[in-house]
Amino acid sequence: MSAFVNGPVFLSRGRGFAAGSRRRAARIVCTATPPVKVGADVDSRVEAGKALSAQGVERVRFAPSPTGALHVGGARTALYNWLHAKANNGKVLLRVEDTDQARSTRESENAVLRDLRWLGIDFDEGPDAMGGEAGPYRQSERGDIYVELANRLLESGHAYPCFCTEEELDMKRKQAEAEGRPPQYDGTWRDADPAEVKRRMDAGETYTVRFKIPDNTTIAIDDIVRGEVEWDANATVGDFILLRSTGVPVYNFCVAVDDALMGITTVIRAEEHLTNSLRQILILNALGFPVPKYAHCSLILGSDRSKLSKRHGATSCDQFRLDGYLPNAMVNYLALLGWNDGTTKELYFTPEEVVESFDLNRVGPSPTMFDSDKLIWINGQHLRALPVEELAPMARDHLVDQELLDPSVESDSELSMFIAGMFQGSMSLVNDVATEFQGALGFPVEECISTGEASELLEDDGGFKVIAESILSAYDAGEFPNGSSDDHAAEWKAWVKALGKETKRKGKKLFHPIRLALTGKMSGPDVGQVVKLLHITEGVAPNRVSLAERIDTLREVVAAKY
């Protein structure tokens, strides 16, 4: 029995996507902004998409929904698409899946693009200035295309109107659950009485458009990551919706159409989209479009082995950036979340290094755990490998943001370079420079002594008294290397050597008392560098305890203790 009455049912849309109605010999009207031409234009797009997918060039896409920030999972998907395209001399497209108008915002889209740029991921085609031959690249601007192709599925008998109300569908779901059946559509309107279809359409009732799954249909794919996957389509999903009663196309319909018309050859996405492949392939087959290859990447888990989420800590790229992670380190770590090059190699200092080794066939199917400690370790390795000239502006900017350094200090100044070189070896994150810088400029000698941490040095043979008195004498005599010399490092080394001979002390018996006397701590950066830092930060570091102030405090400590 046919679902059509006196010819095919067509969809008419007034402003935006209005309710459905039946019109003979009419085509779709859709006011997508900006609108695209339908009919013959869609035919040309279909042929262009087929030609693109058949030209032998890999075409992949990253398709975010602009409803929030770019998180780890999405960033990895974008990266794998980018790496696969670059490794195979292909093209990577950016497609914005913004059909959820209630949640999609241009602000979120811009934020996602900003994060992708920070990671160094660029695109060959995409919205606005990116351009390309398969646009528009926002789904909200492709409404005419979807409705036109839905119309063709109605005309060919691959789809039909469904007049079930939400209340009726809810009752059907509850009944199925009560009977232990999968809660899928039962096909009420699949082979409806043509007269009843006509009556309801004439009455102006709203309807959805459902895809008509052929009987006894099995869909199988050879997933690049997961291997052979097969579905019994009738048992798995039942007849599913293509267009809602408002005329808005559903996610899977848009994705299938866009992948075909944009000539996508390989779909690389998260494992959670695996079951969507069934609906999308059914749509592609019904429209006569080529089916791309698929690669569904494993889930990313948190430390408790549940799906990674905000409760596991920072997961958005923007937060990682704010926390002081380097983009190349993030690329390095994200690439390893499910992939390896067949060796034990873990460090790739540039994206180009990853591209040279990347092979989609080496992405594993098992879930991978997000390890914050390993990410910090990788970031530290990248940070310490940076030329000081690259680290200096980052360190300077963070110190200025934290109001620890005057904005007048230039990124390429002697001070910025000195700070970067001084603390680079002890930093794992760019933001660590603030803690290190504050620590070096402080002088908590009294606190260190009161806690008992330095008790051994304060004993008669501990060395603190004799070293402190020698420092005070040298300072008073103007012989202490105070950091003002251009050759301070050499002068400091010579002074320490002479002090050792004078006091007959060496090794930690010499260095530990010097450190306590001049930094107020038992550990930290090179003391000579601290002295130099105190000199060159004069007037530009608000929380600095100057050398003169340290000497005064040291004098008081010696007088009180001895």
Options 310, 374, 493, 501, the catalytic residue: 310
3-class secondary-structure state, position 129: helix
Rounded Cα distance between 462 and 460, Å, is 6
First-to-final CA distance of the chain: 107
Q: Quick: pLDDT tens for 382-398.
A: 999 999 999 999 999 99
3-class secondary-structure state, position 249: strand
CA of 326: how far to CAs of 86, 308, 364, 375, 380, in Å?
Answer: 21, 21, 26, 10, 9
DSSP-assigned letter for residue 386: S
Q: Are 130 and 4 in contact (CB under 8 A)?
A: no
Chain-centroid distance of CA 464 in Å reads: 52
Lowest mean pLDDT among 20-34, 85-99, 310-324, 392-406: 20-34
Strands 266-270 and 293-297 come out as parallel
Rounded Cα distance between 281 and 345, Å, is 38
**pLDDT averaged over the chain?**
91
CA nearest neighbour of 385 among 355, 348, 414: 348
Lowest mean pLDDT among 188-192, 381-385, 496-500, 511-515: 188-192
Residue environment code for 236-263, b if the CB has 16+ CB neighbours within 10 A, otherwise e: bbbbbbbbebebbbbbbbbbbbbbbbbb
Q: Quick: pLDDT tens for 4-55.
A: 222 334 344 332 333 333 333 233 334 333 334 456 689 999 999 999 999 9
Q: Quick: pLDDT tens for 412-470.
A: 999 999 999 999 999 999 999 999 999 999 999 999 999 999 999 999 899 999 999 99
Rounded Cα distance between 353 and 324, Å, is 22
Cis peptide before 136 (omega within 30 of 0): yes
Q: Check residue 369 and give its pLDDT.
A: 95
Rounded Cα distance between 465 and 393, Å, is 41
Mean pLDDT value across residues 512-532: 97
* Tokens of residue 19, six digits: 């309710």
Q: Are 109 and 103 in contact (CB under 8 A)?
A: no
| DSSP per residue, 311-331 | GGS--BHHHHHHTT--HHHHH
Angle (deg, nearest 10), helices 527-536 and 488-503: 130
- 91 belongs to the catalytic site: no
